[in-house]
Each structure stands twice: as structure tokens, then as C-alpha cells.
Structure 1
Amino acid sequence: MSPERRQCGFSLLEVIVALAVLGICVTVILQIMSAVTTAARVTDDYAQALSIAETRMALLVAQDNPIGMDTGKAGDLFRWNSQVSEYQPAMDNPLFNNSGFTDPENIYRAYHYQVTVSWGGYRKRQLELSTVRLGVAP
């Protein structure tokens, strides 16, 4: 063969290397897309759980100090627990003095409201809202 008649094109080795690089790139892109999809689903679940917890908390606060516990389901995925009890500050809490919350007429009491929403099968997840508010003593 003369130097003028060189064949143009790719060798088999060049084609194999190009396919290997393409395969690696496609694999990486698919893994990134899977991670983004999972993160979006988890974020959506947390947003739904927060909405459920806020709704349950608003219902509790609207009632007149419903001391006790309650549980339920929201859809097929979410379970919630709510609890209202008299608030007992920790002895080492710097926000309270030794006598805790004082009310000379004994009209008001501090109540602790807590709502927990849990969901998930293999990977259990949980979100909790908690607050303390004053209410009229029973």
C-alpha cells in the first residue's frame, strides 16, 4: 500500500475504548438521577409529615387543654401520635426559677403539646413538633 491510500476510520481498539467510556458515563448519570429522585421523594414525605403534624397541633391547641394521648393514621403511609400533659420544667432549666411557673390565683397552667408523625417501612422516619403554652386550669 502506498502512503497516499491510507484507510480512514476507527480501529477496533478505539471503538471498544469509546464504548467503555460511554458505559461509565451512562452509569454515573443514572446513579445521579436515582439519588435526586430519592432525595425529592424523601423531601416530599417530610413536607407531608410536617403538614399533618401542624394540622394535628392546630387541632390540639384549638381545644381547651385536652390532656391525654391520641393516635391515628393519615393515608396509608403516615401514623401520628399526639400528647398533651401538664408541663413540668427540668430542675436545671435556666429559664425557670426553683418554683417553676407561678400563678398566685392558680388560674393558669403550662401545658406541653407534642405531635409525632412517623412513616416508612425499611427506613423508618419521624418528625416531631412540640410546644408549651398557657391554658386555663381545669
Structure 2
Amino acid sequence: MSRRHGCERGFSLLEVIVALAVLGICVTVILQIMSSVTTATRVTDDYAQALSIAETRMALLMAQDDPAGADTGKVGDMFRWKSQVREYKPAMDNLLFNNTGFSDPENIYRPYHYQIVVSWGGFRKRQLELSTIRLGVAP
């Protein structure tokens, strides 16, 4: 008999199965990470587009002479916006105003609260709100 029988080289079936299992787990983890990154990128892009819509709507409202009121609209198939402008009534404990509210002896200027809400999404609804207070001329 020859000596070659006892010293054969190669992988056993058990080693091949373990290697395939480890490879399968690694591929699964990598695919999950890539899926999470893709989802995060899409959500970030959606928020950036919603912010752009809100800023544009806010600029258009601030350019109007008498912006008071509410409005709604749609941008593309995905984004819906609502705007509302109303006279701002501060709380009595608000430090930005004196005890009697906004002080304007000639009653020309009034503070207005501007609010834009952009919403989007199907199963998982998301929304972004942009809000500010600005002085405007009383009608």
C-alpha cells in the first residue's frame, strides 16, 4: 500500500457547510446595512425637499401685503402643504411683550404668526413645520 491514502488534503463537508453559513450571514448583514442606508438617504432627501417647499411658501406669504388667512396646495404627487397666517396673541407671561401685549401707540403694526406645514408619505406619514412671528401693517 502506498502512503498517499493517509495524507490526503482538502476540505471536509463540515468545513464547507460552516464556511457557507458564515458567508450567508455576512451577505445578509451587508444587505441589511445597504437597505438602511438607502432608506435614510431617501428620508433625508424628502425632508430637504419639504424644507425647500416650506421656505418657498413662507417667502411668498411674507411678500404679500395682507397675508392673513389659510391656504393649501400640492407639489407633485407626494407633498401637500398648508399655510396659515393669523394675528399673534402673546401669552401674558411672554417676556418679549409687555404686560398689555404688543405695544404700538399708533396701532399701525400688528404681530402675525406665519405657519407652514408640509406633509408627505403613504404608510408612514411625515411632516415638517416652519413657523415664525413677524410684524405686519394692520389692515
Q: What band does the TM-score fall into relative to the shorter chain? A: over 0.9
TM-score by length of 1: 0.95
Q: Which residue of 2 aligns with 1:24?
A: 25
Structure 1 unaligned residues grouped into runs of 5+: none
Q: Deviations over 1:82-137 (max 9, x none)?
A: 00000111222232222111100111111110000000011100000001111111
Identity of aligned residues (%): 80
Q: Which residue of 2 aligns with 1:40?
A: 41
Q: Which residue of 2 aligns with 1:52?
A: 53
Q: Which residue of 2 aligns with 1:87?
A: 88
What is the rounded CA distance, in whole Å, between the counterparts of 1:15 and 1:91 in structure 2? 75
Q: Secondary structure at the match of 2:40?
A: helix
Report which stretch shifted further, 92-101 or 41-50: 92-101
The count of residues paired between Structure 1 and Structure 2 equals: 138
What is the rounded CA distance, in whole Å, between the counterparts of 2:115 and 2:16 in structure 1? 63
Conserved? CA contact 1:65–1:84, under 8 Å: no
What is the rounded CA distance, in whole Å, between the counterparts of 1:65 and 1:13 in structure 2? 79
Q: Which residue of 1 aligns with 2:116?
A: 115
TM-score by length of 2: 0.95
Conserved? CA contact 2:97–2:103, under 8 Å: no
What is the rounded CA distance, in whole Å, between the counterparts of 2:134 and 2:95 in structure 1? 18
The one-letter code of the counterpart of 1:57 is M
Structure 2 unaligned residues grouped into runs of 5+: none
| Superposed displacement of residue 5, structure 1 | 5.3
Q: Secondary structure at the match of 1:92?
A: coil
